[in-house]
A and B are shown apart, each in its own frame.
Chain A
Amino acid sequence: MSRPRGLVIIRARNEAETIGAVIRELKQKDPSDILVINDASVDETEEHVRRSGVPIVTLPINLGIGGAVQTGFRYSVENRYDLAVQVDGDGQHDPSYIEDLVRPILEDRADVVIGSRFLRKGGFRSSFHRRMGIRGLQALGRCLTGQTITDSTSGFRAYNSRAVAFLADNCAVDFPEPEAIIAMLKRGFRILEVPVVMRSRKAGTSSISGWQSIYFLYKVVVAMIIEAFRSPHD
Protein backbone atom coordinates (compact mmCIF):
# COMPACT_ATOMS: atom_id res chain seq x y z
CA MET A 1 0.00 0.00 0.00
CA SER A 2 1.25 3.46 -0.88
CA ARG A 3 1.81 6.15 1.71
CA PRO A 4 -1.49 7.45 3.10
CA ARG A 5 -2.51 10.82 1.73
CA GLY A 6 -3.40 13.43 4.29
CA LEU A 7 -5.26 16.70 3.87
CA VAL A 8 -4.86 19.60 6.27
CA ILE A 9 -8.05 21.67 6.38
CA ILE A 10 -7.69 25.26 7.55
CA ARG A 11 -10.82 27.22 8.16
CA ALA A 12 -10.14 30.92 7.85
CA ARG A 13 -12.46 33.83 8.41
CA ASN A 14 -10.82 37.24 8.20
CA GLU A 15 -7.37 35.89 9.07
CA ALA A 16 -5.39 37.98 6.56
CA GLU A 17 -2.83 38.84 9.24
CA THR A 18 -1.99 35.27 10.16
CA ILE A 19 -3.00 32.95 7.35
CA GLY A 20 0.18 33.45 5.30
CA ALA A 21 2.41 32.55 8.24
CA VAL A 22 0.23 29.60 9.19
CA ILE A 23 0.48 28.16 5.68
CA ARG A 24 4.25 28.73 5.52
CA GLU A 25 4.77 26.96 8.82
CA LEU A 26 2.56 24.07 7.78
CA LYS A 27 4.41 23.58 4.51
CA GLN A 28 7.66 23.58 6.41
CA LYS A 29 6.67 21.08 9.07
CA ASP A 30 4.20 18.76 7.36
CA PRO A 31 4.16 17.14 3.93
CA SER A 32 0.36 16.83 3.67
CA ASP A 33 -1.71 18.69 1.10
CA ILE A 34 -3.30 21.84 2.43
CA LEU A 35 -6.78 23.18 1.74
CA VAL A 36 -8.01 26.54 2.99
CA ILE A 37 -11.72 27.05 3.46
CA ASN A 38 -12.26 30.77 3.22
CA ASP A 39 -15.46 31.31 5.17
CA ALA A 40 -16.69 34.40 3.33
CA SER A 41 -13.87 36.61 4.63
CA VAL A 42 -14.21 40.32 3.97
CA ASP A 43 -10.48 41.09 4.24
CA GLU A 44 -7.50 39.98 2.10
CA THR A 45 -7.49 36.40 3.37
CA GLU A 46 -8.17 35.05 -0.12
CA GLU A 47 -5.34 37.04 -1.75
CA HIS A 48 -2.86 35.85 0.88
CA VAL A 49 -3.85 32.23 0.34
CA ARG A 50 -3.68 32.51 -3.46
CA ARG A 51 -0.21 34.03 -3.23
CA SER A 52 0.92 30.95 -1.29
CA GLY A 53 -0.32 28.67 -4.08
CA VAL A 54 -2.43 26.54 -1.75
CA PRO A 55 -5.86 25.37 -3.01
CA ILE A 56 -8.70 27.42 -1.63
CA VAL A 57 -12.44 26.95 -1.41
CA THR A 58 -14.19 30.27 -0.92
CA LEU A 59 -17.66 30.06 0.50
CA PRO A 60 -20.10 32.65 -0.88
CA ILE A 61 -21.75 33.09 2.52
CA ASN A 62 -20.47 32.70 6.06
CA LEU A 63 -21.25 29.21 7.37
CA GLY A 64 -19.40 29.25 10.69
CA ILE A 65 -16.73 26.77 11.74
CA GLY A 66 -18.96 23.69 11.41
CA GLY A 67 -20.22 24.35 7.91
CA ALA A 68 -16.81 25.52 6.72
CA VAL A 69 -14.87 22.53 8.05
CA GLN A 70 -17.56 20.25 6.66
CA THR A 71 -16.83 21.71 3.23
CA GLY A 72 -13.26 20.54 3.77
CA PHE A 73 -14.51 17.06 4.67
CA ARG A 74 -16.53 16.92 1.47
CA TYR A 75 -13.48 17.98 -0.52
CA SER A 76 -11.51 15.29 1.26
CA VAL A 77 -14.10 12.64 0.34
CA GLU A 78 -14.29 13.82 -3.28
CA ASN A 79 -10.53 13.66 -3.62
CA ARG A 80 -10.16 10.37 -1.76
CA TYR A 81 -7.82 11.42 1.01
CA ASP A 82 -7.02 8.80 3.62
CA LEU A 83 -7.13 11.20 6.53
CA ALA A 84 -7.88 14.80 7.33
CA VAL A 85 -6.48 17.20 9.92
CA GLN A 86 -8.41 20.25 11.05
CA VAL A 87 -6.36 23.32 11.98
CA ASP A 88 -7.44 26.86 12.89
CA GLY A 89 -6.35 29.70 10.65
CA ASP A 90 -5.23 31.93 13.53
CA GLY A 91 -1.93 30.25 14.34
CA GLN A 92 -3.04 28.76 17.67
CA HIS A 93 -2.22 25.24 16.57
CA ASP A 94 1.43 24.30 16.24
CA PRO A 95 1.84 22.12 13.14
CA SER A 96 4.63 20.13 14.81
CA TYR A 97 1.88 18.29 16.71
CA ILE A 98 0.20 17.05 13.54
CA GLU A 99 2.48 14.03 13.61
CA ASP A 100 1.20 13.14 17.10
CA LEU A 101 -2.40 13.61 16.01
CA VAL A 102 -2.03 11.47 12.94
CA ARG A 103 -0.03 8.62 14.45
CA PRO A 104 -2.94 6.85 16.25
CA ILE A 105 -4.91 6.98 13.00
CA LEU A 106 -2.10 5.47 10.95
CA GLU A 107 -1.73 2.75 13.57
CA ASP A 108 -5.52 2.24 13.43
CA ARG A 109 -5.93 2.87 17.15
CA ALA A 110 -8.51 5.66 16.69
CA ASP A 111 -10.90 7.16 14.14
CA VAL A 112 -10.72 10.66 15.58
CA VAL A 113 -7.81 12.18 17.46
CA ILE A 114 -8.25 15.41 19.41
CA GLY A 115 -5.37 17.62 20.43
CA SER A 116 -6.03 18.43 24.07
CA ARG A 117 -4.59 21.35 26.03
CA PHE A 118 -5.44 19.73 29.33
CA LEU A 119 -3.63 16.41 29.26
CA ARG A 120 -0.31 18.05 29.99
CA LYS A 121 0.54 21.35 31.62
CA GLY A 122 1.88 24.29 29.70
CA GLY A 123 1.10 26.57 26.80
CA PHE A 124 -1.95 28.69 26.25
CA ARG A 125 -4.87 27.19 28.13
CA SER A 126 -7.39 30.00 27.72
CA SER A 127 -9.08 32.04 30.44
CA PHE A 128 -10.32 30.81 33.80
CA HIS A 129 -14.00 31.13 32.86
CA ARG A 130 -13.55 29.31 29.66
CA ARG A 131 -11.65 26.51 31.39
CA MET A 132 -14.54 26.16 33.85
CA GLY A 133 -16.93 25.91 30.92
CA ILE A 134 -14.79 23.27 29.28
CA ARG A 135 -14.63 21.38 32.59
CA GLY A 136 -18.44 21.46 32.78
CA LEU A 137 -18.78 20.16 29.24
CA GLN A 138 -16.36 17.40 30.13
CA ALA A 139 -18.57 16.31 33.06
CA LEU A 140 -21.70 16.45 30.94
CA GLY A 141 -20.04 14.47 28.16
CA ARG A 142 -18.95 11.84 30.64
CA CYS A 143 -22.53 11.53 31.98
CA LEU A 144 -23.92 11.17 28.47
CA THR A 145 -21.35 8.84 26.95
CA GLY A 146 -19.21 7.39 29.73
CA GLN A 147 -16.03 8.60 28.06
CA THR A 148 -13.97 11.52 29.30
CA ILE A 149 -12.91 14.03 26.68
CA THR A 150 -10.82 16.69 28.38
CA ASP A 151 -10.87 19.25 25.58
CA SER A 152 -14.08 18.90 23.63
CA THR A 153 -13.88 22.42 22.20
CA SER A 154 -10.43 21.92 20.71
CA GLY A 155 -10.52 22.46 16.96
CA PHE A 156 -7.17 20.74 16.45
CA ARG A 157 -8.12 17.27 15.29
CA ALA A 158 -7.35 14.43 12.94
CA TYR A 159 -9.88 12.09 11.34
CA ASN A 160 -9.58 8.91 9.32
CA SER A 161 -11.50 8.53 6.07
CA ARG A 162 -14.42 6.74 7.75
CA ALA A 163 -14.90 9.58 10.22
CA VAL A 164 -14.50 12.15 7.45
CA ALA A 165 -17.16 10.41 5.36
CA PHE A 166 -19.54 10.46 8.32
CA LEU A 167 -18.93 14.12 9.11
CA ALA A 168 -19.18 15.13 5.47
CA ASP A 169 -22.84 14.16 5.67
CA ASN A 170 -23.85 15.19 9.18
CA CYS A 171 -22.39 18.03 11.11
CA ALA A 172 -24.07 20.78 13.08
CA VAL A 173 -23.88 24.25 11.61
CA ASP A 174 -22.55 26.57 14.31
CA PHE A 175 -19.95 25.33 16.76
CA PRO A 176 -19.88 21.65 16.03
CA GLU A 177 -17.22 20.26 18.25
CA PRO A 178 -18.76 18.96 21.51
CA GLU A 179 -21.96 17.59 19.96
CA ALA A 180 -20.04 15.99 17.12
CA ILE A 181 -18.03 14.02 19.67
CA ILE A 182 -21.19 12.60 21.24
CA ALA A 183 -22.69 11.79 17.85
CA MET A 184 -19.51 9.94 16.88
CA LEU A 185 -19.10 8.05 20.16
CA LYS A 186 -22.69 6.83 19.85
CA ARG A 187 -21.96 5.48 16.41
CA GLY A 188 -18.98 3.52 17.63
CA PHE A 189 -16.17 5.76 16.40
CA ARG A 190 -13.02 5.53 18.51
CA ILE A 191 -11.97 8.89 19.86
CA LEU A 192 -8.58 9.48 21.39
CA GLU A 193 -6.94 12.56 22.85
CA VAL A 194 -3.28 13.41 22.62
CA PRO A 195 -1.58 16.23 24.51
CA VAL A 196 -0.76 19.38 22.57
CA VAL A 197 0.48 22.78 23.62
CA MET A 198 -1.42 25.63 22.06
CA ARG A 199 -0.22 29.16 21.47
CA SER A 200 -2.25 32.24 22.18
CA ARG A 201 -3.72 33.51 18.95
CA LYS A 202 -1.50 35.77 16.88
CA ALA A 203 -4.31 38.08 15.84
CA GLY A 204 -8.06 38.33 15.79
CA THR A 205 -10.38 37.28 18.57
CA SER A 206 -11.70 33.89 19.57
CA SER A 207 -14.75 32.74 17.68
CA ILE A 208 -16.39 32.62 21.09
CA SER A 209 -16.27 35.70 23.31
CA GLY A 210 -18.28 37.68 25.87
CA TRP A 211 -22.03 37.21 25.66
CA GLN A 212 -21.46 34.78 22.87
CA SER A 213 -19.83 32.39 25.29
CA ILE A 214 -23.06 32.17 27.28
CA TYR A 215 -24.99 31.51 24.11
CA PHE A 216 -22.34 28.97 23.08
CA LEU A 217 -22.52 27.12 26.40
CA TYR A 218 -26.32 27.06 26.35
CA LYS A 219 -26.40 25.89 22.76
CA VAL A 220 -23.75 23.23 23.22
CA VAL A 221 -25.34 21.81 26.37
CA VAL A 222 -28.75 21.56 24.68
CA ALA A 223 -27.20 20.13 21.52
CA MET A 224 -25.20 17.56 23.51
CA ILE A 225 -28.27 16.36 25.40
CA ILE A 226 -30.37 16.20 22.24
CA GLU A 227 -27.58 14.34 20.47
CA ALA A 228 -27.42 11.83 23.33
CA PHE A 229 -31.12 11.05 22.97
CA ARG A 230 -31.12 10.98 19.19
CA SER A 231 -31.27 7.58 17.55
CA PRO A 232 -27.95 6.68 15.91
CA HIS A 233 -29.89 5.95 12.73
CA ASP A 234 -31.20 9.49 12.29
Chain B
Amino acid sequence: MTKIFIISAIGSAVLLVVIVMLTLRRRIREQYALIWLAMGVLILIFSLFRGLLDLVARLAGIYYAPSLLIVLSVFLGMVLGIHFTVVLSRLTDSNKKLAQEVGLLKNRLERLERSRSPEEAAPAGPGA
Protein backbone atom coordinates (compact mmCIF):
# COMPACT_ATOMS: atom_id res chain seq x y z
CA MET B 1 0.00 0.00 0.00
CA THR B 2 2.78 2.48 0.83
CA LYS B 3 4.94 1.13 -1.96
CA ILE B 4 3.10 3.19 -4.54
CA PHE B 5 3.91 6.33 -2.54
CA ILE B 6 7.60 5.51 -2.40
CA ILE B 7 7.64 4.71 -6.11
CA SER B 8 5.83 7.88 -7.10
CA ALA B 9 7.94 10.01 -4.73
CA ILE B 10 11.14 8.63 -6.22
CA GLY B 11 9.69 8.88 -9.73
CA SER B 12 8.71 12.52 -9.40
CA ALA B 13 12.00 13.39 -7.69
CA VAL B 14 13.92 11.82 -10.59
CA LEU B 15 11.66 13.69 -13.06
CA LEU B 16 12.41 16.99 -11.30
CA VAL B 17 16.16 16.34 -11.31
CA VAL B 18 16.12 15.41 -15.01
CA ILE B 19 14.11 18.53 -15.90
CA VAL B 20 16.42 20.79 -13.90
CA MET B 21 19.49 19.19 -15.48
CA LEU B 22 18.09 19.54 -19.00
CA THR B 23 17.21 23.15 -18.30
CA LEU B 24 20.68 23.90 -16.93
CA ARG B 25 22.23 22.42 -20.06
CA ARG B 26 19.83 24.50 -22.17
CA ARG B 27 18.30 21.42 -23.74
CA ILE B 28 14.91 22.67 -22.54
CA ARG B 29 13.88 26.31 -22.56
CA GLU B 30 12.86 27.65 -19.13
CA GLN B 31 9.49 28.52 -20.62
CA TYR B 32 8.73 24.84 -21.24
CA ALA B 33 10.45 23.61 -18.09
CA LEU B 34 7.90 25.49 -15.99
CA ILE B 35 4.99 23.20 -16.77
CA TRP B 36 7.09 20.07 -16.13
CA LEU B 37 8.41 21.42 -12.83
CA ALA B 38 4.92 22.30 -11.64
CA MET B 39 3.73 18.81 -12.52
CA GLY B 40 6.67 17.10 -10.79
CA VAL B 41 6.28 19.17 -7.65
CA LEU B 42 2.56 18.45 -7.48
CA ILE B 43 3.04 14.69 -7.73
CA LEU B 44 5.90 14.84 -5.23
CA ILE B 45 3.78 16.72 -2.69
CA PHE B 46 0.97 14.20 -3.00
CA SER B 47 3.36 11.26 -2.62
CA LEU B 48 5.06 12.70 0.46
CA PHE B 49 1.96 13.84 2.30
CA ARG B 50 -0.48 10.96 2.55
CA GLY B 51 -2.93 13.01 4.58
CA LEU B 52 -3.31 15.54 1.79
CA LEU B 53 -3.87 12.80 -0.75
CA ASP B 54 -6.48 11.09 1.44
CA LEU B 55 -8.26 14.39 1.94
CA VAL B 56 -8.40 15.25 -1.75
CA ALA B 57 -9.39 11.67 -2.60
CA ARG B 58 -12.26 11.81 -0.15
CA LEU B 59 -13.39 15.14 -1.53
CA ALA B 60 -13.31 13.71 -5.04
CA GLY B 61 -15.16 10.58 -3.95
CA ILE B 62 -12.25 8.25 -4.70
CA TYR B 63 -12.12 5.32 -2.24
CA TYR B 64 -8.66 4.07 -2.95
CA ALA B 65 -6.46 7.14 -2.45
CA PRO B 66 -3.40 6.02 -4.47
CA SER B 67 -5.52 5.84 -7.60
CA LEU B 68 -5.85 9.61 -7.30
CA LEU B 69 -2.12 9.76 -8.04
CA ILE B 70 -2.70 7.88 -11.26
CA VAL B 71 -5.70 9.99 -12.24
CA LEU B 72 -3.69 13.10 -11.50
CA SER B 73 -0.73 11.91 -13.58
CA VAL B 74 -2.92 11.02 -16.54
CA PHE B 75 -4.69 14.36 -16.35
CA LEU B 76 -1.44 16.33 -16.10
CA GLY B 77 -0.02 14.30 -18.97
CA MET B 78 -2.96 15.36 -21.10
CA VAL B 79 -2.52 18.99 -20.12
CA LEU B 80 1.10 18.72 -21.19
CA GLY B 81 0.05 17.11 -24.46
CA ILE B 82 -2.38 19.90 -25.26
CA HIS B 83 0.20 22.49 -24.32
CA PHE B 84 2.66 20.93 -26.76
CA THR B 85 0.08 20.82 -29.52
CA VAL B 86 -0.49 24.53 -29.07
CA VAL B 87 3.24 25.21 -29.18
CA LEU B 88 3.64 22.94 -32.20
CA SER B 89 0.85 24.69 -34.09
CA ARG B 90 2.43 28.05 -33.39
CA LEU B 91 5.77 26.75 -34.61
CA THR B 92 4.20 25.32 -37.76
CA ASP B 93 2.68 28.71 -38.54
CA SER B 94 5.85 30.67 -37.96
CA ASN B 95 7.82 28.08 -39.89
CA LYS B 96 5.49 28.47 -42.85
CA LYS B 97 5.72 32.25 -42.70
CA LEU B 98 9.52 32.07 -42.58
CA ALA B 99 9.70 29.71 -45.56
CA GLN B 100 7.44 32.02 -47.58
CA GLU B 101 9.45 35.05 -46.59
CA VAL B 102 12.75 33.33 -47.54
CA GLY B 103 11.33 32.32 -50.93
CA LEU B 104 10.03 35.82 -51.67
CA LEU B 105 13.25 37.50 -50.52
CA LYS B 106 15.39 35.19 -52.64
CA ASN B 107 13.25 36.05 -55.64
CA ARG B 108 13.61 39.77 -54.93
CA LEU B 109 17.36 39.41 -54.50
CA GLU B 110 17.65 37.67 -57.87
CA ARG B 111 15.70 40.45 -59.54
CA LEU B 112 17.93 43.07 -57.91
CA GLU B 113 21.10 41.30 -58.93
CA ARG B 114 19.86 40.95 -62.48
CA SER B 115 18.99 44.63 -62.75
CA ARG B 116 22.51 45.50 -61.55
CA SER B 117 24.24 43.45 -64.20
CA PRO B 118 22.61 44.80 -67.37
CA GLU B 119 24.21 42.34 -69.80
CA GLU B 120 22.17 39.59 -68.21
CA ALA B 121 19.02 41.64 -67.94
CA ALA B 122 16.20 39.33 -68.93
CA PRO B 123 12.49 40.16 -68.86
CA ALA B 124 11.95 38.83 -65.37
CA GLY B 125 9.36 39.80 -62.80
CA PRO B 126 7.46 43.08 -62.63
CA GLY B 127 9.47 46.15 -61.79
CA ALA B 128 12.71 44.33 -62.57
Contacts and interface: CB of A to CB of B under 8 A. Distances in A.
Q: Are A and B associated in one complex?
A: yes
A37 B125 CA distance: 13
Interface residues of B, number: 18
The dominant DSSP class at the A interface is mixed
Contacts of A71: 100, 103-104
Interface of A: 5, 33, 35, 37, 53, 55-61, 63, 67, 70-71, 74-75, 78-79, 81, 173
B120 to A, nearest CB: 12
B107 A75 contact: yes
The dominant DSSP class at the B interface is helix
Shortest Cβ-Cβ A-B pairs, 4 listed = A55-B125, A57-B103, A71-B100, A59-B103
A57 B123 contact: no
6 contacts: A57-B107, A58-B106, A60-B99, A60-B103, A74-B104, A79-B126
A63 to B, nearest CB: 6
Nearest to B125: A55
Contact of B95 (A5, A61, A75): A61
Contact of A63 (B96, B122, B126): B96
B103 A37 contact: yes
Interface in B106-128: 106-107, 111, 122-127
A35 B104 CA distance: 11
A141 to B, nearest CB: 25
Contacts of A78: 104
